[in-house]
Every structure is written in C-alpha cells, then in structure tokens.
Amino acid sequence: MWSLCLMLGALVVGAPYSDAGSAQEAAPAFDADDIGGTVHGGAGPEAGVWVIAETTDLPVAFSRMVVTDDAGRYLLPDLPAANYRVWVRGYGLADSQPVAARPGQALDLRVQAAASAAAAAQVYPANYWFALVQPPALTEFPGTGSDGNGIEPLMQSRTDWIYHMKENCLFCHQFGTAVTRTLVPPRAGHDEATDAWLQRVFSVGDDSMTAFMGMFGARRAASMYADWTSRIAAGELPTVPPRPAGVERNVVVSTWDWAVAADGTPQFVHDEITTDQRNPHLNAGGRVYGVAQHASKVVWLDPRTHTTGERVLPTKFSLGALAGSAQPHNPMMDAQGRIWSTTFNRNPEDQPDWCKEGSQQPFARFFPLDAAIGRPSQVSVFDPATDTTREIDTCFGTHHLQFGYDDGQTLYLSGDSRVMGWVDTRKFDATGDSAASVGWCPMVIDTSGDGRIGESVARGEARLPTQDQRFEGFLYGMGVNPRDDSVWYAWYTDGRGGYGSPFFAIPGGIVRMERGTDAPATCHVELFVPPVDSKRERIEVFNPRGVDVGSDGIAWVAFGSGHLGRFDRSRCHTVHDAAGDGRHCPEGWEIIEIPGPQFKGVDRSGSTDWHYLVWVDEFNVLGLGHNVPIVPGTNSDSLIAYLPQEKRFVTLRVPYPLGFYARGLDGRIDDEKAGWKGRALWANYGSFALGHREGGDGHTRLPGKAVSVQLRPDPLAH
C-alpha cells in the first residue's frame, strides 16, 4: 500500500470526521468467522471509514471491506479461515498501521488524521484529481489548426474537446490516479512539462493513444495536461469527497485476484458474468466468468474455493499483434449456463459469400453485407459442462450482446454501424448452421409511416414522403425490454465512422429495434435523441455508452458526460419520426446529473466521472428495490445506484486498491432464503493499464480482480 507512508504523520488541527457522542455504543456482536471492533481517531470514534482485511493465505489474494457505523463500529462478516492484515482507510485520515488478525477476534483499531490536506488527498478517487484539469476556454473554439491556436479543426466546440478527453482518455484506464497526475521527475517549466507529456504519450507505443492525442492538436493537449500536473506539483488539491453515509455504510465489498496465467503474468479481463441476466438464480453459488481479451481465454473464479481457471478460445484470426487471439470481448450467460462472447473467429476479409450481394440467404437478399462495418468480429460459445467451444459466423460486426425473451433464445448483438444483428441460438444448437441462424435489421427509420422498411435514402439526401431514412453510427451497450422483446442500443457515433471513430455523437441517442413477425420485412427501428439546446456549446449531455431496460419498460442510459438518462417511450406523443432525426419525443426523456466534481472552469452540468455501461437491477438483487439502475463510476472507484422513487443516488465505493475500473456488472441470487448473504452484485476490476492502480508503477502489470458488492440491512449485520 503506497499510502502507508502517510500513517506516521502528525495530527492536524481541525475537526476529523467522527461522532464522539456515540462513543458509549456497545461493541458489536460477532460470530467465529467475523472480525469486529471500533475505530478510534484523535477525537473519538470514526464514522464512515473503511476497514479492510486482506490475506494471501488462500489460493488467490483476497480482501473484504466494510464501513464503520455512526459510532465507529465495524464488522467484517463471514471471513474465510486465514491470517489477515486489517487496517483503516478514510477521507481525512492516514491509512492505519496494519494489524494481524484472525476470524473470531475482537479488534479495536486506532487511526490518525492525515499529516496534511495533501496527504489526505492521496486516497481520493481519480475523478476528484481529474477535475483539476482545465480544458481550453470557450473562445478557443472552433480550433484553427497547427498554424493557428494549435487545436485541430475537428474540435468545433469545447463540448467536442471534453467528449474526446473523457471518451478516449478514459476508455482504457482511469485518469487522475497517482500514476497519471504525476510527472517523475517534476519539470520546472511549462514547455519542459509539455514536452514530457508528449514523450509520456508517444513513448507508450500505442498507436491509438498517439492518434487520439493528434485529434486534439497534440501539443495543445499536452500543454493542458502539463498545466494540470504542474499545478498539482505546486500544491493544488481537489475538493474533499464525502464519506459514505446512510445506506452506503451497509456495504460489504470482497475482491479476489484472477486471470493470472500459469507463468504468473496478469491477463487483462474485459468483463465478467455470473448468471443469466433474465434469471438471477441460474448458476447459484457457481463460478464467476470473465474474458481475457488479449489472451483469447474464458477465465473463471470459484468464490467458494477461492480458485481460478481458464479455457483458451480457438480462432483463425491471423492479423497484426493479436494474431492467434480471438479477442473475446463481452461475456453473457444463457439459460443453460453456457458463456457466449463476441470473438474474432476469422479475418474480417473472409466474409462468407452467403452474406453478400447475390446470396439467397433471406437477410442478405434484403440487405446484403459485403463486409462488417464497425467491430468486424463474430460469436463464440463455451460450455463449461462439456469443456467445449463452438464458433458462429456472422455477417455483421459484433461487440456487446444480450439475450431476448423469445422462444428462439435469440442472442442480440451490437457492433455494426449499419445493421442490428442476432443469432437464433436454438436454431444454431439444432443445425450448427450459421447462415440459417443469423439475421439482421438495417438501420432504417420508417419516416414514411407505412409500417415497413421501404425504399430508403441516406441521411442528408433528398427524401420523398414515400421513402424511408437510413442512418448509421456505431451501436454500443444494449438491453432487451422484458415486456415486448424490443432491443435498445446506445447510438455511440454519428455515422461518419465506426468503432473508435473521432466523429462524435453529440448528444448521441438511443435506438429501439423490433424484428416483428416476418423479419427483415417487418423490422421496425426508432431513434430517440435527448433534448438539447440548439447551440452546440450548450449541449451538456453526450456520449451514450450503455442502455438497459427494467421490467417496467423504462430504458436507462449511461452518458459519459456524467449523466443518467431515463426514457419512457409510453410518454411519447408520437413515435412516428417523420423527420428522421430522432427528436420527435423530448417528453420521453429525463436527464439526471450524477454526483461528482466537474472540470476546472467548466460551469455546466456533468462531471469528470465516466460511466461505461448501465445495468438495471430488475430483481432487487442488491436490496435497494426493483428496477434500480446502477452505473459504474469508472473513474471514481464505485458503483452508483439511482433510486427513482427517492430521486437520489447511492455510491458504493471500492476503496482498495485505488483504481477500480468497472465496465459492466451483473447480479446473482445464490440463496433467496439467506437474505443479503445470498445475493451480490459482481463486477470486474479491469483497466487495460493494469499497472495504473494503487501499488503500480504505471508499467508493471498487476492482477485484475473479481469484485463482489453486497448490501446489509445495517453496518453490523452478520
């Protein structure tokens, strides 16, 4: 723990976070597999601080974390038998000296105030430090290029700049961590610091980082970051985050290292899955599965035995640095407990003839696909029961995936810029025939209003009243409506490019697709764009990344701008989009700002947090209610739940190690009768940059983690 160097600091004058008036509360009762006690600070018991127990005695490194109650009491429940290091972390404090302990032990802990405000800030989430970045002023846009103000003309507004800074700088790792906010050694002058930032980015050898920096205007962006790190080195500090309060203190966070190869090399896991998202009782108590993207593996953790395993996914992909890797992306579990993921089974140019013009495959005959546009991957399925894999070819790009509620157990997929595709998994199980099992709907809006896809024209072309409107754009996170089996997608780019496109969907939107009874003829597609001010700079909501739909039919949207969108299609005065621009139902939208600090000098809603996807707790797995949307605080070490009835957020922080980077999440019920102990949310701690988290040097890869989050009825429940 790099922050343990703070623990010997002198007490500072001022009021620590504590509730000395509760000091007479009784010590917590606990069982033989618990550790409990009280945390004491200089002014009495410390409320709302984390107590962390970690061990390496089990087959994999394990930790469990809880929060103290109003009287500073804590209880670490149901610990596996092992020797633990137990210590305290809290805002305003120095990390306490770790104490050796075993389950069944009463353990009071002492903690000191941090030696200084700067020392205290070392454990703040990354987004608080990222908020010290000051983007260029409004007057610097649009950019005038290298011969002008150094900002590329692609950046038409500060909204474009902030979108790009968040989307493409947070896409792989947090920003604001100790590694990113520090230049070593510090540079004395601004020009030297700017040069150091350019060297930092370009020396990584990542072509995408170099390209993204160039889209800003590389030197102007480096100057912005140099100003940021220089101000921090000179002593500028972020605002103080609030300690956990109320129900946030009821959390139990557990982590296990996973996806470490036999030779000890940590492997990057993109995401995890624990159950069928339509049935959270499936795979009760079983393995947690993930996909090691670059290593071409399905990996797993057995949380009962604290053991891990892996299975290589075969591929014929043979291009570039990832030749031989299927690059599995986003796993999903079906009703049989099989693990489906989007994978590169072949090279993109080997598009099957049955996808193309002249094919008699029904969907190719209707809308041929000579190539996949977007992420040109396909689909694989791994069956843990038989330890076998199968590959399914697709004509369209694939990225995220969700199962529908129909008899065909349809697997819907995003990942293409022109069509929305699917696999009829029951048909594939019966026939093994990809061509007979896949289908797709083109992205065509029924602007004519005749109820079918007719002759269509591209956006920007003159359109007759009898014609429909084609549109494009990379579709990202997705969800399926349990009520009507409609599929909802985040409209991620504006159509001028596919996956990784620099062309921003500002504000972006969501797409709804129904196959109808006789697809592709009955495909019905709708686009909904959130209401925004007509002046581009006043667009505050942008970067839709994920959509999920609850059992009430409400679609929830995670926006990278720092907002949560709620869309209720039943409120629309009309769903006929005659203009084909998605702006026909502003009344369906509610935009909710997610708590967190904003960039320095930016005076509008939003934050420096980033929300990769969204998951709706349809079955009340966490215990906050049915149909509660939960977004990962991808830059804030957290999972953030929104309570629609109360219109408030609950932030569940993962305090250690700093750098918790979650994409998606899911929830599983292991034992309905066991209360909170029988259910948990699961997420993956999986930054691309595994050396960026606490304890890392920015280069050496550290293990990722499977993360369990549970919510007790009170902070001492056991």
Question: What is the residue whose two structure tokens read 């570039």?
Answer: 320
Tokens representing residue 289 in the block = 């599965």
Q: Which residues contact 27 (CB under 8 A, 6 or more apart)?
A: 36, 37, 38, 73, 106
Q: Are 179 and 691 in contact (CB under 8 A)?
A: yes
Q: Is 188 exposed, middle or buried (0-12, 13-18, 19+ CB in 10 A)?
A: exposed
CA distance 309 to 536: 50
Q: Are 526 and 503 in contact (CB under 8 A)?
A: no
CA distance 212 to 589: 32
Q: Which residues contact 361 (CB under 8 A, 6 or more apart)?
A: 354, 355, 435
- Same CATH fold assignment for domains 2-123 and 246-443+472-711: no
- Architecture in CATH of 246-443+472-711: 7 Propeller (2.130)
Q: What is the CA radius of gyration of the chain?
A: 25
DSSP string, 320-338: GGGTT-------EE-TTS-
CA distance 512 to 530: 14
Q: Are 288 and 272 in contact (CB under 8 A)?
A: yes
CA distance 16 to 221: 38
Residue 322, CB-side half-sphere exposure with 13 Å CA sphere: 18
Amino acid at 636: S
Nearest Cα neighbor of 568 from 581, 545, 586, 582 is 586
Which residues are bridge partners to 709 per DSSP? 253, 681
Q: Are 289 and 273 in contact (CB under 8 A)?
A: yes
Q: What angle do CA 318, 338, 517 make, to 5 degrees?
A: 95
Nearest Cα neighbor of 421 from 396, 391, 401 is 396
Question: What is the residue whose two structure tokens read 């604290």?
Answer: 306
Q: Which residues of the chain have pLDDT under 50?
A: 1-23, 497-502, 536-537
Q: Are 291 and 341 in contact (CB under 8 A)?
A: yes
Q: Which residues contact 430 (CB under 8 A, 6 or more apart)?
A: none
Q: What angle do CA 128, 133, 134 make, to 5 degrees?
A: 135
Residue 243, CB-side half-sphere exposure with 13 Å CA sphere: 24
Q: What is the pLDDT of residue 294?
A: 94
C-beta contacts of 20-23 below 8 A and 24+ residues apart = 20/44, 20/45, 22/47, 22/70, 22/71, 22/72, 23/71, 23/72
Cα distance from N-terminal residue to C-terminal residue, the chain: 28
Which residues are bridge partners to 504 per DSSP? 493
Q: In what order do the strands lie in the sheet with 99-101?
A: 99-101, 84-89, 50-55, 62-67, 251-258, 704-711, 679-685, 665-669
Q: What angle do CA 135, 541, 240 make, to 5 degrees?
A: 55
Residues counted in the chain: 718
Check whether domain 2-123 has CATH 2.60.40.1120, yes or no: yes
Give yes or no for a cis peptide into 657 (omega within 30° of 0): yes
Domains in the chain: boundaries: 2-123, 127-233, 246-443+472-711
DSSP state of 556: E
CA distance 429 to 406: 15
Where b means 16+ CB within 10 Å and e means fewer, 201-218 reads beeeeeeebeebbebbbb
Tokens representing residue 445 in the block = 């809006």
Q: What is the pLDDT of residue 459?
A: 83
Nearest Cα neighbor of 629 from 613, 641, 619, 647 is 641
Q: In what order do the strands lie in the sheet with 438-442?
A: 401-403, 410-413, 419-424, 438-442
- pTM metric for this prediction: 0.94
Phi, psi values for residue 474, rounded to 5°: -70, 130
Is residue 557 helix, strand or coil?
Answer: strand
**How far from 619 is each of 521, 610, 644, 668, 679, CA to CA, in Å?**
35, 25, 15, 9, 11
